[in-house]
Structure 1
Amino acid sequence: MSPGTAQPGASISHWLDDCEWSWTGSLASWALDHPAGPGSVQAPEEAAAHRAGRLRAHRDALGFLCPVLRPTRP
């Protein structure tokens, strides 16, 4: 890609899965590593609830588009 070239993107299911599992896995890992930390009891519950919602509710419906908007040169 040459300098100044913009690359838009669109989400696909496995990419969103990777993002979701990374986020919820990091949250659960943090709770295990910091048992006395604020929210460490709630963190695994939140991660599990978020995963369940993703799998049951919006996994096949949710996506997003990342357009890149920039001025054009004459």
Structure 2
Amino acid sequence: MNEQAQYQLTIKAYDKLGSLERILRVIRHRGGHIQSMQMQTIENNALTLTLILTTERPLSTLQNQVAKLEDVIAVE
């Protein structure tokens, strides 16, 4: 079994109906396992989502897939 690396991922997105669910679905489908999650609404109808997650796959793959979502502003 491959060893899973732990990462912190910060996502800024528009706070629209279903945007959080779409982000979490992409993370799950790309092999990410969320250890902890913090979400807060910020100015201009946006949200910041900070995740601690583990994955066996390269983090860049997950970041690229999340960044493609229509509601996502930035992924760090």
TM-score for the superposition, normalised by structure 2: 0.23
By percentage of residues, which structure has more strand?
Answer: 2
TM-score (norm 1): 0.24
Larger radius of gyration: 1
